[in-house]
A and B are shown apart, each in its own frame.
Chain A
Amino acid sequence: MDNLVIAGKTYTSRLLVGTGKYKDFNETRTAVETSGAEIITVAIRRTNIGQNSNEPNLLEVLPPSQYTLLPNTAGCYTVEDAVRTLRLARELLDGHSLVKLEVLGDPKTLYPNMVETLKAAEILIKEDFQVMVYTSDDPIIAKQLEDMGCVAVMPLASLIGSGMGILNPWNLQIIIDNAKIPVLVDAGVGTASDATIAMELGCDGVLMNTAIAAARDPVLMASAMRKAVEAGREAYLAGRMAKKLYSASPSSPTDGVIARADTTTKKSTTGKSA
């Protein structure tokens, strides 16, 4: 079986999905189920104090017994905030140590601050977290994150929530070629073909949220993404044909074609036309 292995655990799905931006928990659950994802990201936020204490909890809808929850540090701009958030997450999830680290650098672009990300990763790894790390598509940084002990590197395809697709496949290719740990494209996927391209490049998986949640029909898009990731993976494993620029090659036999019009003696039946 062609499985995804992260930190020693085996997954059959190479699609990881977020749980934000859905209109309600029912849509969240249906989209996640349809996507086939086994790893789902969650955010850690202050609970509402003294209001709606009976409102349903995300973890009742998507129980940790059924999914591998991947708590993130979305919204964190400093090492300290990211580390504290994940310590809270580990306590919340009964010691679960697989986490998604992201340290943002700028609220407008949500581009990662890699200097801070490296520092946070070092602290978290020392505290025995298994760190899947959101990163810029810089191959050197990606390698440093791997060398320090991250369990997966997750370069952006384009900005978080932008849906701009894969802007620099060449950098992703270098990161993939250099890595001995899983490489997952995280952020920027807009539609199914983007996910397929990522997988065809040789990515081990794709993580997305907005591409599904902000589709007109999120559940249908979740289905499309599931197929797109599978198709891209199979195409990668199958090995694509070589590109032959300006060198066409017919798929049908070149022998045995019926007599060409200019070699027959019979007159045209259509009169004057050539």
Chain B
Amino acid sequence: MIQLTINGLPQQFESPINVTQLIDHLALHGKRIAIERNGEIIPRSQFSEQILVHGDQLEVVVAVGGG
């Protein structure tokens, strides 16, 4: 069991997962998003390679209206 903090909220997973699997889990597949892991950008090209581990802090962002 691992715990990830996603946008400030803790979530548990049975085992380590990669970023692509996380995106599917969050129903964000096909959405235009960007992800930061522990303060560092995860390039889209590395989504399937990067394995998330217990304690990772993730920020998942989109563009919204702003001035």
Interface residues, chain A, CB within 8 Å of chain B?
18-22, 28, 41-47, 49-50, 53, 57-59, 69, 71-72, 74, 84, 87-89, 91-93, 160-161, 207-210
Contact = CB atoms under 8 A, between A and B. Distances in A.
B1 interface: no
Contacts of B64: 20, 42-45, 58
B59 A46 contact: yes
A161 B67 CA distance: 9
A230 B33 CA distance: 36
Interface residues of B, number: 26
A61 B67 CA distance: 16
Interface stretch (B13-21, B35-43, B48-56): B35-43
B8 to A, nearest CB: 7
23 contacts: A18-B65, A19-B65, A20-B65, A21-B67, A42-B65, A45-B61, A45-B64, A46-B60, A46-B61, A49-B7, A49-B9, A50-B26, A50-B27, A59-B63, A74-B66, A88-B59, A91-B34, A91-B44, A92-B32, A92-B34, A92-B62, A93-B63, A209-B66
Contacts of A88: 34, 36, 41, 59, 61
B11 to A, nearest CB: 8
A54 to B, nearest CB: 9
Nearest to B7: A46
Contact of A53 (B27, B32, B59): B27
A43 B61 CA distance: 10
Given A47-B28, A47-B31, A92-B34, A18 B7 contact: no
A93 to B, nearest CB: 8
| Chain A facing B: main interface SS | mixed
A209 B64 CA distance: 14
B67 A72 contact: yes
- The 10 A-B residue pairs whose C-beta atoms are closest, nearest first, are A43-B66, A18-B67, A209-B67, A92-B34, A19-B65, A91-B34, A53-B27, A20-B65, A46-B7, A42-B63
B59 to A, nearest CB: 7
A35 B38 CA distance: 40
A57 B63 contact: yes
Given A49-B6, A57-B32, A92-B32, A43 B41 contact: no
A47 B55 CA distance: 20
Contacts of B26: 49-50, 53
